[in-house]
Amino acid sequence: MRTLLLLAVVTAVAQAATRPTIEEARKFVDDAEKQLLVLGIEGGRADWVKSTYITDDTEALAAKADERGINATVDFAKGSAKFKDTPLPEDIERKLKLLRLALTVATPSNPKDSEELTRIVAGMEGTYGKGKYCAQADHCLDLEDLTKVMAESRDPKQLLDAWVGWHAIAKPIREPFARYVELANKGARELGFADTGAMWREKYDMPPDAFAKELDRLWEQVRPLYLSLHAYVRGRLRERYGAAVVPANGPIPAHLLGNMWAQSWENIYPLVEPKDSGPGYDLTQILKTRNTDAKEMVRYGERFFTSLGFAPLPTTFWERSLFTKPRDREVVCHASAWDIDYVEDLRIKMCIDITADDFLTIHHELGHNFYQRAYDKQPFLFRDSANDGFHEAVGDTIALSVTPAYLVKIGLLQTVPDPSKDISLLLHKALEKIAFLPFGLMIDQWRWKVFAGEITPEQYNRAWWELRLKYQGIAPPVARSETDFDPAAKYHVAANVPYARYFLADILQFQFHRALAGISGCRDPLNRCSIYGNQEAGRRLNTMLTMGASRPWPSALAELTGSRQMDARAIIDYFAPLQKWLDQQNKGKPVGW
């Protein structure tokens, strides 16, 4: 026994003698941050050009720059494993964890596989960005054109034609996507993850399975409200299009909801608005009547943030951003915010229309930019949000303050509409936010199952529509088969962008808004509160933003809200008057599908 104890002591001493030191770990992290910053800037510039000037050459250059950045990150992530048994200070430990989880796609160590994977990822996004539906050889419609058709048309045949036409552009992505899954999983497993989906889920400061259960918990909190909204909308669409098109108690056909992916339904508000009760104003018409241009739309968003005490955007933002669609080249119009140098080279890329929707989208994208600048004094590996749902939530939190009272303050409305108009405003907001929740959940539910091998390539499309039926109560408007690849008709699938962040953002923004409304002293119903001009609310918000990713997200959440747990009940609080009204409208009618 004594001999065994002595042997154990000797072994422990020997291991300690060969274990890397704290100083070595710190140097490793410092080197990683320096190199990844340089490669991140290089990749950001290449990706910007690729997205704002789509050609085969810009795709190839961006793919090569991305490959360098990804490969370096993979090398550092693998190198970090040697410190797993070294007791480390909290900041170094967290940086090593973030380094290991920094990627949305991990390239395999084999150079040929690595090059192939980055080329596939760039190519899938390029195929999506160049996608067009050509009903006739001389008449082609891109996604921007088709989006307008889906939003504005009330002809079910025209809507069906646009829906089928756009979804056809995803068919060529099916084969490269299957190869992408294979190679991405190979890279993830080399880093010690079960698959790419598990790698994505582990970013949330909890085990992958626990994170999946957390999403289910949040969904169950809001599912009753979604069911009520779905039943009401289905009934009104049935009145509009007839029993032959919309069933009384089944799923809603996907092409009738005003959006190419039926992910948000606000464009069909005129079809389902409360009878004899409009919102009292049309923000789109107000903006157009004032001859508002794209830059002024962005100025409105900037002024909201500066009213909270944030510094104005840098001059380079206005010089380098893309605000309108160029006439001379292909661009990815999908709105996005950029932080090219991780300090002050902030930009947005967006093909702005003068609409209420884009007015809100601008607030969302600027939320990213002001968040990026708030944490720019953090070490490089902490220059990110507490989790990616936080990044998406911040701008939308501000957009929840775009209330009638706010529009009066900035001169876009003369008077605040009577409280009797609130149901109309809440219904419109629910068509955007509540309708989105199950879609935001199922996108990654599908991909996690694909990465895990639970959904094979032979089942891609069938499984996609099974999940859409389960969560959304939505069905394809025409028969689909495995010759189709409808998941990649959505940008984030084609472009390898995880989607759970958007579901989390939908939850978090209401929790943030409730906390900020309380800080600002608002005593009105939550849907009527705006924090515009309240610098104490801005100060508290900025305190959370400046933390970046330096602490686990529950700490950042607690900094603003006082709670360490995400809570969807803030949504129930916000929409309480609407829930009561929907229950009255649905009385005696089928709910569910």
Q: Which of 72, 151, 335, 452 does the annotation list as catalytic?
A: 335
Distant-in-sequence, close-in-space partners of 204: CB < 8 Å, separation ≥ 6 = 211, 214, 387, 553
Residue that the structure tokens 């552009």 belong to:
169
| Cα(581)–Cα(587) distance, integer angstroms | 10
- Residues 500 and 215: beta-carbon distance below 8 Å: yes
Cβ pair 280, 189 in contact under 8 A: no
Q: Is 363 a catalytic residue?
A: no
Strand, helix or coil for residue 136: strand
Instruction: Give dist(CA 492, CA 332) in Å, integer.
Output: 12
From residue 285, how far is each of 258, 355, 584 by CA, in Å?
Answer: 19, 8, 31
Residue from 544, 514, 565 nearest 386 by CA: 544
Whether 492 is a known active-site residue: answer yes
Instruction: Tokens for 1, please give them.
Output: 């026994």
Of 365, 393, 556, 570, the active-site residue reads 365
Q: What contacts 326, CB < 8 A, 6 or more positions away?
A: 52
Q: Which two structure tokens, joined as six digits, stand for 159?
A: 């809507």
Query: Which residue pairs, CB below 8 angstroms and at least 24 apart, start in 134-140?
Result: 135/161, 135/165
Determine phi and psi for 246, rounding to 5 degrees: -120, 120
DSSP 322: B
Catalytic residue chosen out of the listed positions 133, 300, 371, 502:
502
Contacts of 502 (CB under 8 A, 6+ apart): 389, 392, 436, 440
What is residue 274's DSSP assignment? P
**Is there a catalytic annotation at residue 392?**
yes
d(CA 10, CA 62): 52
Q: 364 an active-site residue? A: yes
Separation CA 38–CA 342 (nearest Å): 10
53 among known catalytic residues: no
CA 234 remoteness from chain centre = 26
502 in catalytic set: yes
Q: Burial of 327 by CB count in 10 Å (0-12 exposed, 13-18 middle, 19+ buried)? A: exposed
User: If you search the block for the tokens 């602490």, which residue do you land on?
Assistant: 551
Point out the catalytic residue in the list 230, 255, 368, 428: 368
Contact between residue 135 and residue 158 where contact means Cβ atoms under 8 Å apart: no
Among 167, 230, 255, 334, which one carries the catalytic annotation?
Answer: 334
Q: Say if CB 508 and CB 566 are below 8 A apart.
A: yes
Sign of the Cα pseudo-torsion (364, 49, 111, 175, in order): positive
Q: In this structure, which long-range contacts are made by residues 242-251, counting pairs with CB atoms below 8 Å and at least 24 apart in sequence?
A: 245/156, 248/590, 249/590, 249/592, 249/593, 250/475, 250/593, 251/469, 251/472, 251/473, 251/474, 251/475, 251/593
Catalytic-labelled residue, pool 363, 364, 391, 513: 364
Catalytic residue among 392, 432, 489, 549: 392
Which one of 492, 513, 532, 549 is the catalytic residue?
492
Residue owning tokens 């929707």: 357
Indicate which residues carry an active-site annotation.
334-335, 364-365, 368, 392, 492, 502
